[in-house]
C-alpha cells in the first residue's frame, strides 16, 4: 500500500531526504511550496502524513510551524533528525573555475559564506528552493552555474558535487516531525517524548510552579518557547518539548498540569530519536 506524504519543497529537498530515511514502505510525494500548503494537503485528505521541519540546532525552533500544528489540531506522531550537509553541484564536467554564478536559497548561501568568500568573482544569486535550483540546472543544461543543495538533489538531478559539505558549521542538524490528522497510538513503553502546549494565568510564579512540577515528575525539558496570544494582550502560550524514561512520570505530570494551567493540550506523544 502506498503512503502519500506531503513535503515542503520539491523532490531532492531536505524534507524529501527525511522521507527517504524515515519511511520504509512505498511512498508518494506531494510537493508543497509552503508549510501552509503542506497543512492544506494533509487536511484535505490529499496526503496521509506530512514531514515538517520544526527545529534547527543553530537557528532554533520554527515556532510558526508549532502554531500551524496547534491551530489545525494535528498530531505529531514521530520525529527524525537530519544532519544538514550543503554541497556545491553542477552539470557533469564542470569545474569550480568554470563557475560564474551560485544559485540557492538565501539560508543555504549564508550557511556557506566562508567557502564562497574564497571565490569573490562568483556572483551569488538567491533563489526560493535549493532543490529547485538543482533541477533547473539539469533541465535547462545551464553551464557556468552551480547550485548549493543536498546530496539527494545531486542524485535526483544527476549533477556532480564539485565541493562537498561546504557549510561553515559542520554540525548543523534539523529536527523534523511527522504529522497526521489522527493520532497514532504507540504502546506506552515506547513513548518517551512529548510536545505540549499550555496557557497560564498572568501572575507571579505561575511558570515557575509548572516547571517545578515537570522537574518533580522527572521530565527533561528540551525546549520551551512562548508565543503571544494575539486576541488576548499580555497573555502567552507556551510550547514545550519534554523527554522522560517512564510514561507514568509523564502521565502524572499531565494530570497536574491539566489542573494548574488555564489551557492544556498535547500536540504529540512519540518516540525520542535524538542521536
Using alpha carbons, select from 192, 161, 41 the residue that is nearest to residue 90.
161
Predicted confidence band at 227 (pLDDT cuts at 50, 70, 90)? confident
CATH at 113 = 3.40.190.10
**Cβ atoms within 10 Å of 20's Cβ, excluding its own:** 12
- Contact criterion met (CB below 8 Å) for 131 and 156: yes
34-93 pLDDT, tens digit each: 999 999 999 999 999 999 999 988 878 888 899 999 999 999 999 999 999 999 999 999
Calculate the average pLDDT of the chain. Answer: 94
For residue 1, pLDDT beyond 90: no
178-210 pLDDT, tens digit each: 999 999 889 999 999 999 999 988 778 889 999
CATH at 237 = 3.30.70.260
**Cβ atoms within 10 Å of 269's Cβ, excluding its own:** 24
Specify the pLDDT at position 81: 97
Q: 108 or 234: which carries more pLDDT confidence?
A: 108
Could you give the CA distance from residue 16 to residue 21 in angstroms, rounded to a whole number?
9
The three three-digit cell numbers of residue 271, written as one number = 518516540
- Structural domain of residue 236, as residue ranges? 188-270
Q: Please, what sign has the CA dihedral across residues 205, 208, 214, 218? A: negative
Could you give the CA distance from residue 78 to residue 179 in angstroms, rounded to a whole number?
7
For the segment 241-269, the average pLDDT, to the nearest whole number, is: 96
Specify the pLDDT at position 129: 86
125-176 pLDDT, tens digit each: 999 889 999 999 999 999 999 999 999 999 999 999 999 999 999 888 999 9
Provide the domain count of the chain. Answer: 3
Same domain (yes/no): 63, 176? yes
Same domain (yes/no): 176, 65? yes
Same domain (yes/no): 176, 68? yes
Could you give the CA distance from residue 203 to residue 56 in angstroms, rounded to a whole number?
32
Q: How is residue 193 annotated by DSSP?
A: E
How many residues can be counted in the chain? 275
Same domain (yes/no): 71, 197? no
The verdict on residue 114 lying in a domain is yes
Amino acid at each position: 500500500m502506498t503512503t502519500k506524504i506531503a513535503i515542503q519543497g520539491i523532490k531532492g529537498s531536505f524534507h524529501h531526504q527525511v522521507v527517504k530515511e524515515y519511511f520504509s514502505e512505498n511512498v508518494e510525494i506531494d510537493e508543497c511550496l509552503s508549510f501552509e500548503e503542506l497543512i492544506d494537503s494533509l487536511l484535505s485528505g490529499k496526503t496521509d502524513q506530512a514531514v515538517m521541519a520544526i527545529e534547527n540546532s543553530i537557528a532554533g525552533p520554527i515556532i510558526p510551524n508549532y502554531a500551524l500544528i496547534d491551530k489545525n489540531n494535528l498530531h505529531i506522531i514521530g520525529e527524525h533528525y537530519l544532519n544538514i550537509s550543503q554541497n556545491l553541484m553542477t552539470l557533469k564536467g564542470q569545474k569550480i573555475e568554470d563557475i560564474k554564478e551560485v544559485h540557492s536559497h538565501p539560508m543555504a548561501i549564508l550557511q556557506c559564506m566562508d567557502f564562497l568568500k574564497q571565490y569573490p568573482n562568483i556572483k551569488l544569486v538567491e533563489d526560493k528552493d535549493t532543490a529547485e535550483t538543482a533541477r533547473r540546472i539539469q533541465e535547462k543544461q545551464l553551464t557556468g552555474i552551480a547550485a548549493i543543495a543536498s546530496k539527494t538533489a545531486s542524485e535526483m538531478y544527476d549533477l556532480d558535487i564539485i565541493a562537498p559539505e561546504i557549510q561553515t558549521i559542520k554540525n548543523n542538524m534539523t529536527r523534523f516531525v511527522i504529522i497526521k490528522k489522527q493520532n497514532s497510538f504507540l504502546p506506552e513503553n515506547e513513548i518517551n517524548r512529548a510536545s505540549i502546549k499550555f496557557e497560564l494565568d498572568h501572575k507571579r510564579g505561575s511558570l515557575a510552579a509548572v516547571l517545578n512540577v515537570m522537574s518533580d515528575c522527572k521530565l527533561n525539558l528540551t525546549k520551551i518557547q512562548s508565543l503571544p496570544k494575539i486576541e488576548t494582550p499580555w497573555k502567552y502560550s507556551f510550547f514545550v518539548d519534554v523527554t522522560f524514561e517512564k510514561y507514568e512520570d509523564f502521565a502524572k505530570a499531565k494530570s497536574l498540569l491539566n489542573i494548574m494551567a488555564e489551557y492544556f493540550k498535547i500536540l504529540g506523544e512519540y518516540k525520542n530519536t535524538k542521536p
